[in-house]
Amino acid sequence: MKTFSIKIDALTGEEYYEVYLRGQQLLNDALLNKASAFTLEERMALDLEGLLRSGVGDLETQVQRSLQNYRRKPDDLERYIFLMGLLDRSEPLFYKVLCENLEEMVPIVYTPTVGQACLQASHITRRYRGIFISPDNINRIDQIFQSVHLPQVYLIVVTDGERILGLGDLGSDGMGIPVGKVALYVAAGGLHPACCLPISLDVGTNNERLLKDPLYLGYKHPRLEGKPYEDFIEKFVLGVKRNFPDALLQWEDFAKHKAFKNLERYRNRLLSFNDDIQGTGSISLAALMTAMRIKKSSFKEQRFVIVGMGQAGTGIGSCIRTMLKEEGLTDAEARSRIFAVDMQGLLVEDDPELERPQWPFAQPREAVAEWKLETAGKISFQDVVANAKPTVLIGVTAKRGLFSEKILAEVAQNTERPVVLALSNPTFKSECTPEEVARATKGKGLIATGSPFAPVEWEGSPIAVSQCNNMYIFPGMGLGALCAKALKVTDEMFLAASKALSGMVTHEQEAHGMLLPEMKDIREVSFTVAMAVAKEARDSGLGRLLEDKDLEKVIRKAQWEPIFNPYRPG
């Protein structure tokens, strides 16, 4: 049942909510609860008299009270629990608090704290958010979707919980990731919370800890695999298309083999993208574009080593390959500048373990035949660094300390300004710290990390540490694709997003080694990315035929600000 509709008064032009709930039900609805901010008129009209104290407070007063309570919490997990409780109580208040304290709170509502919360989700659950679809109810998906109380669903973030951050299979305890991503879509991108739906595909878990945990709340069976899994996903996608035909779907934290298959199977059937593949590639490319300007160099003059060729590494490699080809290189020439390392070592063409998405990055055996190796027959990461002499080092392995001081120092010998992207989440999984990069490169390294790190200094001078967070890309991508009414999300849209984002870094910021804009500017970042995406959709024949100024008006209007709207009974 829809709980409210967004209306405009034909006489006055006032925007208001037509509300269908009354009394305690209204106070229990997080999207609608204004607590002390209900006016006296609203209290009488909506059966709230006697349920609230007599004082009428505004949103700002509630923000102050919430911040006082938040800052009393003793640790980050308790702060996460508090913020999720606030989200369950009043979404406009939660988003007002979050938007005004983004730099402080993004590490709480998303990485790294959300990882800790997912590990303990069944033990700290207070209220459920979003939709849980399992093999027990997939055949009733239409009834489930039709019961969603939101006025209109335009955005879906979905996971099956098999690869949560760098933490592995967490089953339906991974729901914290879609919930966190929706929070960032709203806070950073400006999507209205009433149009965003997090979903968990609870298809079981192979995590023995969860299966044996009496408090685990998910589907306690081994994971669906093979055809039963594919049939489940097909039923889910068809359910989305039937019930939410205008929605964009973001695939999130699926296992590698399933992520690539889902993306390729559905990207032309459903407005959708995979943030782990495409979003990570796009944000990393933006950081590298800025690094090339700082280095006064080009992509084709670099040698890239990417360690960890799963979703993120393959996405990053694809984006680098696109830039190399844009600079005039052939496929073979582009391949010769990207050295991809996975669990078996350097990817080479005759490797029997090579997976299809990795094919474009495998080196010909003859290209490395003369390399000096520590162990004959295996080309290790250390061998790659010693022989390929990289100028750019990228890690997406979730292996803390993989980029040792020795490795970093070797890379620093190959170029005056080495670039190091240590992108694994959460913080304790990062391949290295900014301090380690600064020490090994004598302060010359250009650094970006996946999770936030404290600023560092070298010989008294501050060194910028950019957080290479997908939050810079996916909210604007979603906003732009939806405002453009795009038919599908393309690789060209992500390339346009990367260029627009990198272009926002000022000359002054570049002088300090910053590779990405500051987090405090995230709303403007999302607008800029959305504009680039919408224009690319239009120019490629996949989006609305609007002039730039009209696109700007549409996107600005779509960016919701957290307020308490006036209510009228419906």
Burial of 10 (0-12, 13-18, 19+ CB in 10 A): exposed
The DSSP line for 278-320 is IIHHHHHHHHHHHHHHHHT--GGG--EEEE--SHHHHHHHHHH
Among 34, 96, 181, 258, the one annotated catalytic: 181
Q: Which amino acid is at 369?
A: A
The C-alpha atoms of residue 258 and residue 226 are separated, in whole angstroms, by 10
Among 70, 80, 110, 472, the one annotated catalytic: 110
Residues contacting 217, CB < 8 A, separation 6+: 121, 122, 125, 172, 173
DSSP assignment letter at 363: B
The C-alpha atoms of residue 223 and residue 246 are separated, in whole angstroms, by 30
Please compute, for residue 444, the number of CA atoms within 13 A of its CA located in the half-sphere on the CB side.
Answer: 16
Q: Do you know the residue count of the chain?
A: 570
Query: What phi, psi does 377 have (nearest 5°)?
Result: 90, -5
Burial of 80 (0-12, 13-18, 19+ CB in 10 A): buried
Question: 3-state DSSP call for residue 307?
Answer: strand
* Element spanning 394, H or E: strand 392-395
Q: Closest Cα to residue 248, out of 304, 309, 181, 302?
A: 181
The C-alpha atoms of residue 482 and residue 557 are separated, in whole angstroms, by 13
DSSP assignment letter at 348: B
Q: Closest Cα to residue 448, out of 428, 431, 473?
A: 431
To 5 degrees, how large is the angle CA 122–CA 110–CA 418? 135
The label of the residue with tokens 């997908």 reads 470
Q: Catalytic: 16?
A: no
Structure tokens at 229: 């899994």
Q: Please say whether the beta carbons of 420 and 411 come within 8 A.
A: yes
The C-alpha atoms of residue 426 and residue 2 are separated, in whole angstroms, by 37
The label of the residue with tokens 């078996």 reads 344
Q: Closest Cα to residue 321, out of 347, 358, 371?
A: 358
- How far CA 294 is from CA of 338, 415, 515, in Å, comes to 21, 13, 9
| Count of CB atoms situated within 10 Å of the CB of 90 | 25
Q: Catalytic: 181?
A: yes
Q: Just list the catalytic residues.
A: 110, 181
